[in-house]
Amino acid sequence: MLMDTYGRVATDLRVSLTDRCNLRCTYCMPEEGLQWLGKSDLLSDDEIVRLIRIAVTDLGITEVRFTGGEPLLRPGLVGIVEECAALEPRPRMSLTTNGIGLRRTAGALKDAGLDRVNVSLDTLRPEVFQTLTRRKRHQDVLDGLDAARAAGLTPVKVNSVLMPGLNDDEAPELLAWAVEHDYELRFIEQMPLDAQHGWKRDGMITAGDILASLRTRFNLSPEGEDARGSAPAERWLVDGGPARVGVIASVTRPFCRACDRTRLTADGQVRTCLFAREETDLRELLRSDAPDAEIAKQWKLAMWGKKAGSGLDDPSFLQPDRPMSAIGG
């Protein structure tokens, strides 16, 4: 098991498949992009599958989420999903994507064994989308969402980040649209993980702001802690249900004490937390022919050192060197 000194057990693995992206969301990346990892720095498809196999068969991982950067840019994605679906015990698998290209790949991903997707969409207004992501691809995302639902990658969840002065008035509109299309909407508080270090606590839209805005149009009743489990989102029933809305309040209502995650970057580093400042290199072990048992041991050791919380509330908090897109969001 991947246990830490606070008794938490990690069963949910987030795997970043690439640090590259075809959007430039303002809260994530600068317009010019970033210094991307070189090809030889990236884990190969076989190396990724081997690490996931070790995680699933030796370390108690039951959930695998593929992310990035933009995971649909990884040419071997469908094959990786297929190989992971053949593992015993079979992990549940999901994908966090910006949705561009999902129209073409949703069916193949479902056939390969993917269970679900989370698609990121912050606005229903094409011109605001262009300002937020610096690309004219709004319709591609909507098409990707449709395709995901049609392919049965359900429940389809939609992730939205609200940015002051851009889309912070859109929460009720987004929820009405999500309910109508049978997507489960989750708002994510903006976190200090942008490459440009532009995040400001007093400028961000908080969970409190989001809920107040939603309540101008909807009746929200809490789903309760039991239903939440270790999920980062607090969820509310919309107008009595069954539709639900979630808020991931990593900044104002952190949920670190129930965290069940471990993370793997596209270059093979284990991270215990999005906000961790240390990493453990598994790529070097893989490439020096270390046996599975040694890799599993180093992964366990890394997780044993997981900190109690993100440290966001600590005055000495320092943003990690890697931005969200290079960690895997």
The least CB distance from residue 100 to ligand SAM, in Å, is 9
Q: Closest approach of Cβ 119 to ligand SAM, in Å? A: 7
Cβ(3)–Cβ(301) below 8 Å: no
Q: How many CB atoms lie within 10 A of CB 286?
A: 19
Contact call for residue 17 and ligand SF4 (CB under 6 A): no
Using CB under 6 A, which of 10, 28, 191, 286 touches ligand SF4?
28
Q: How many residues does the chain have?
A: 329
Which phi-psi region, left, alpha or beta, contains residue 302 (left: φ > 0; alpha: ψ -120 to 50)? alpha
Per CB under 6 A, which region of 36-44, 185-193, 256-264, 266-274 contacts ligand SAM? 185-193
Residue (of 91, 147, 144, 145) closest to 114 by Cα position: 91
Report in angstroms how near the CB of residue 227 gets to ligand SF4 at its nearest. 27
Residue 34 lies near ligand SF4 (rule: CB under 6 A): no
Q: Which tokens in the block code for residue 246? A: 């979630």
Report if residue 280 touches ligand SAM, rule: CB under 6 A: no
Nearest one of 93, 284, 321, 88 to 194, comparing CA atoms: 321
* Residue 76 in tokens: 């071997």
Site string for ligand SF4, 44-73 (x = CB under 6 A): ------------------------xxx---
Tell me if 325 contacts ligand SF4 by CB under 6 A: yes
In order, the DSSP letters of 157-193 are: EEEE---TTTTTT-HHHHHHHHHHHT-EEEEE---S-
> Cβ of residue 141: shortest distance to ligand SF4, in angstroms?
9
Question: 60 vs 309, which CB is nearer to ligand SAM?
Answer: 309
Annotate each residue in 116-145 with x if it binds ligand SF4 (CB under 6 A) or - if it does not, as one string: ----x-------------------------
CB 326 within 8 A of CB 34: yes
Q: How far is the CB of 112 from ligand SAM (least distance, A)?
A: 19
Range list of H helices, the chain: 45-58, 77-85, 102-112, 126-133, 138-151, 171-181, 207-215, 225-228, 283-287, 292-304, 324-327
The smaller minimum CB distance to ligand SF4, of residues 68 and 144, is found at 68
Q: Are 162 and 51 in contact (CB under 8 A)?
A: no
* Size of the residue set binding ligand SAM (CB under 6 A): 20
94 binds ligand SAM (CB under 6 A): no
Rounded to whole angstroms, how far apart are CA atoms 329 and 310? Answer: 15
Q: Which does 24 bind (CB under 5 to 8 A by kind): ligand SF4, ligand SAM, none?
A: ligand SF4
Tell me if 245 contacts ligand SAM by CB under 6 A.
Answer: no
Contact status, residue 81 vs residue 112, Cβ threshold 8 Å: yes
Nearest distance in Å: CB 192, ligand SAM: 7
Q: Interface with ligand SAM includes 67 (CB under 6 A)?
A: yes
Q: Does 29 bind ligand SF4 (CB under 6 A)?
A: yes
What Å distances lie between residue 138 and 50, 95, 144, CA to CA? 36, 19, 10
Binding positions for ligand SAM, rule: CB under 6 A: 21, 27-28, 67-68, 70, 96-98, 120, 159, 161, 188, 190-191, 193-194, 324-325, 329
